Structure 1
Amino acid sequence: MNLRQMECFLAVADELHFRRAADRLHLAPPSVSEAVAGLERSLGSRLVERTSRRVRLTPFGAEFAAAIRPPIEALHQAHRAARLRSARHRDLVVAHTPELGQLILPGLVDAWPGAAADDEARGRWRPVPMHTPEQLAAVADGEVDVGLCWSVPEQPGIASTVLGSFPLVAVLQAADPLASRHEVALTDLRTRQILITPRADNPYLESQLQADIIRAGIPRTHIEEVGRYDELAVHVATRGHVGVHPGPIALTNSLPAVVFRRIADASDGVRICAISRAEARTGSIAALVASLRSIVGSLDVDAKLT
């Protein structure tokens, strides 16, 4: 018996669509399809009928879904309740993307050095590097208490707190003619080679950036990915290209030959968010999120854009 296979099957039973079920579980559609197929093999009978146009439960599948749903939901509820009860006696798990970990966690070390013996609202915490889709799944499963990530969409059962909103910026050589402006537009960059960091780890932020690039009429052949965010400014300084990145990069830059200018025609600001299970947003978790909000609120990106 495989619990993950049954979770995948129940998601398909609810959605009657493999891609939507995969999105709900933060998995790839082929993984969900294989999980359901494996469950069918172990049971010796078909659970779903799949065609190019529709997915529907077989009579056996509908009966099996009704039988397993209550105990699986009870198991998840018992797990969540146990984690909430144990929160006072264990380290809080704080997942973070690599970039936000470097930017924010030093401030959390100062603001949250450890729990005093008589302070029930605070507790020790430990960081775990994790990209945004994995954070969403781990928070939903109760493996992570707080996730620290870039912009995320609403998810059932997950509370998302916007800690701060920041502009998209152009990263320029100080001698670049565009550096003399207070703001630049993506449409000003149509003839330039543009450097970005990979955003496949956050499809929500990636889709926003790609929509802005397409709307500005920038050819895809002018876009080049630089492996890591902390390398982007170095590439700008040495190659004369233009970087496009969320504004907090300005706070980690140490190169005087590089400047940052707000992008005027970006569709929206980039949000830094803290995520947790909605019912867990109490006690030490609520206090930790409040500390993160204070830390992000103190980040003065605007001072680096002048």
Structure 2
Amino acid sequence: MEVRQLRYFVAVAEELHFGRAAERLHVAQPAVSQQVGRLERELGVRLLERTSRRVALTGDGRRLLDEVRAALSAVDRVRAVAADLAAGRAGVLRVGTTPGTGPRLYRAAAKLRADVPDLALTLVDGTIAAHVAALRAGELDIALVRGAVGARDLQAREVWRDPLQVLLPSAHPAARAPAVPITALADLTLRLPDRGSDPALQDALQTACRAAGIVPSTGRPVRSLEDAAVEIGMSEGDATIVCGCGDAPMPGVAVRPLAPLVEVSGLLLAPPSTAPACMDALVAALA
């Protein structure tokens, strides 16, 4: 079985036409038909139904198509890693990040360096959609995101859960208690990040507010948590919602969990070619 046979099969399966598949692959049509036929004989199954009018996948062909795509993705990943090695970039883990995951990554890197002493991280911020596209293109090795991700072609593991917290002026009455009731958000002006940057946070917050029967007022969106914290600390009733922020980032503001507790799942995303042992090691380091 040759890699080109697999590529030719995928092209025909996606185009459902030998001529268009040949044009896409920049080869002659007879070569595509010949290689796909050889693949069928080697596998011992019929992958395609061919008539003078149409080409269609057989049941066996449909079942094998995802496996062939995964095999080709693994081959491409091997070549990408080999290119990195040849270029002297070994030991670099390219990570798509989400706001608030920095401390977790720092701890994970310390654990991973026990096995890979020269490990370096290249961190890339962006939206979930951008990270998914970069993983598919081989431009990232892993990504840390929050909430559900509709990308069945990627591996996804839930690694942690972050509580939603309120960052508000330390002088505000709601900051006096160890937790902020969700109903108290009705008395604050919420400044939230753009939905595209953290949709899971907004979805979880909106669900909790609906359940509590409140509709908080909203202010300007948050572009930078540090800048927003300064402005919130100087305000009378502005606030923002953060995931797993920990202690207050600076004087003048307080960070309190919501009551009742609202959590958002944190996921590790990786290409399908990532080995199970590698995924297990990453999960253990990030947990």
Normalising by the residue count of structure 1, what TM-score does the alignment of the two structures yield?
0.60
- Match among 139, 153, 163 for residue 167 of structure 1: 163
1:226 corresponds in structure 2 to 222
Displacement of 1:74 in angstroms is 4.7
Task: Map Cα deviations across residues 205-256 of structure 1 (whole Å, 9 max, x no partner).
Answer: 33222333344444464444222233332222011224232342234x4323
> Is 1:182 aligned to 2:183, yes or no?
no
> Is 1:102 aligned to 2:98, yes or no?
no
CA separation of 1:225/1:65 partners in 2, compared to 1, >3 Å: closer, same or farther? farther
Query: Are the aligned partners of 1:94 and 1:148 in contact in 2 as well (CA < 8 Å)?
Result: no
**Aligned positions of 1:242-253 closer than 5 A:** 242-251=238-247, 253=248
> Is 1:130 aligned to 2:141, yes or no?
no
Aligned residue for 1:250, secondary structure, equals coil
- Match among 143, 148, 168 for residue 144 of structure 2: 148
Q: Considering only aligned residues, what root-mean-square deviation do their CA atoms show, in Å? A: 4.1
2:74 corresponds in structure 1 to 80
Provide the C-alpha distance between the structure 2 equivalents of 1:72 and 1:149, rounded to a whole number of angstroms. 25
1:270 corresponds in structure 2 to 264
2:193 corresponds in structure 1 to 197
Query: Are the aligned partners of 1:165 and 1:269 in contact in 2 as well (CA < 8 Å)?
Result: yes
Aligned residue for 1:275, secondary structure, equals strand
Displacement of 1:190 in angstroms is 1.4
Rg: which structure is higher?
2
2:47 corresponds in structure 1 to none
Provide the C-alpha distance between the structure 1 equivalents of 2:160 and 2:68, rounded to a whole number of angstroms. 36
Provide the C-alpha distance between the structure 1 equivalents of 2:140 and 2:170, rounded to a whole number of angstroms. 42
Query: Are the aligned partners of 2:186 and 2:217 in contact in 1 as well (CA < 8 Å)?
Result: no
**Paired amino acid for 2:256:** R
Normalising by the residue count of structure 2, what TM-score does the alignment of the two structures yield?
0.63
Task: Map Cα deviations across residues 37-61 of structure 1 (whole Å, 9 max, x no partner).
Answer: xx9xxxxxxxxxxxxxxxxxxxxxx
Displacement of 1:91 in angstroms is 4.2
Displacement of 1:182 in angstroms is 2.2
2:255 corresponds in structure 1 to 260
CA separation of 1:281/1:213 partners in 2, compared to 1, >3 Å: closer, same or farther? farther
**Aligned positions of 1:295-306 closer than 5 A:** none
1:22 corresponds in structure 2 to none
Number of matched residues?
234
Task: Map Cα deviations across residues 14-34 of structure 1 (whole Å, 9 max, x no partner).
Answer: xxxxxxxxxxxxxxxxxxxxx
CA separation of 1:211/1:115 partners in 2, compared to 1, >3 Å: closer, same or farther? same
Stretches of structure 2 that go unaligned for 5 or more consecutive residues are 1-9, 17-23, 25-52
CA separation of 1:85/1:100 partners in 2, compared to 1, >3 Å: closer, same or farther? farther
Aligned residue for 1:212, secondary structure, equals helix
Identity of aligned residues (%): 19
Aligned residue for 1:213, secondary structure, equals helix
> Is 1:111 aligned to 2:111, yes or no?
yes
**Paired amino acid for 2:96:** H
2:233 corresponds in structure 1 to 237
- Match among 207, 211, 232 for residue 203 of structure 2: 207
Displacement of 1:160 in angstroms is 2.3
